[in-house]
Amino acid sequence: MAAVSLVKAPISQGFRPAGHNPRRGSGVVRCSLQGAVIASRTGTECLGSCAVLSRKVAALVSHPTNGHVAVAAAAAPNGAMLDLVPVSSINGGSRNLPAQLRVADLCPAPMHGSVLRVAYQGVPGAYSEKAADKAYPGCDAVPCDQFDVAFQAVENWIADHAVLPVENSLGGSIHRNYDLLFRHRLHIVGEVQLPVHHCLLALPGVRKEDITRIISHPQALAQCEHTLTRMGLNAAREAFDDTAGAAEYIAANGLRDTAAIASSRAAELYGMEVLADGIQDDCGNVTRFVMLAREPIVPRMDRPFKTSIVFAHDKEGTSMLFKVLSAFAFRDISLTKIESRPYRPARLVDDASSGTATKTFDYMFYVDFQASLADPRVQNALAEVQEFTSFLRVLGSYPMDMTPMTAGSSTIISSNSSPAPSSSC
Tell me whether residue 406 is one of the annotated catalytic residues: no
For 43-49, which contacts have Cβ atoms below 8 Å and span 24 or more sequence positions? 47/15
Residues 135, 131: Cα–Cα separation, whole Å? 6
Give me the DSSP letters along 72-137: -GGGSGGG-B--PPPHHHHTT-GGGSPPPP-GGGG-S-GGGTTSPEEEEES-TTSHHHHHHHHHST
The HSE-up count of residue 196 (CA atoms within 13 Å, CB side) is: 30
Given 147, 289, 311, 328, which residue is catalytic?
289
Tell me whether residue 287 is one of the annotated catalytic residues: yes
End-to-end CA distance of the chain: 107
Sheet strands (E) in 146-297: 161-168, 172-173, 187-195, 199-202, 213-216, 236-239, 258-262, 273-277, 286-293
β-strands 68-69, 117-121: how paired? Answer: unpaired
3-state SS string over 12-63?
CCCCCCCCCCCCCCCCCEEEEECCCCCCCCCHHHHHHHHHHHHHHHHHHHCC
Residues 369, 305: Cα–Cα separation, whole Å? 9
**Is the Cβ–Cβ distance between 128 and 147 less than 8 Å?**
no
Given 287, 328, 388, 389, which residue is catalytic?
287
Residues 424, 407: Cα–Cα separation, whole Å? 8
Catalytic positions are 287, 289
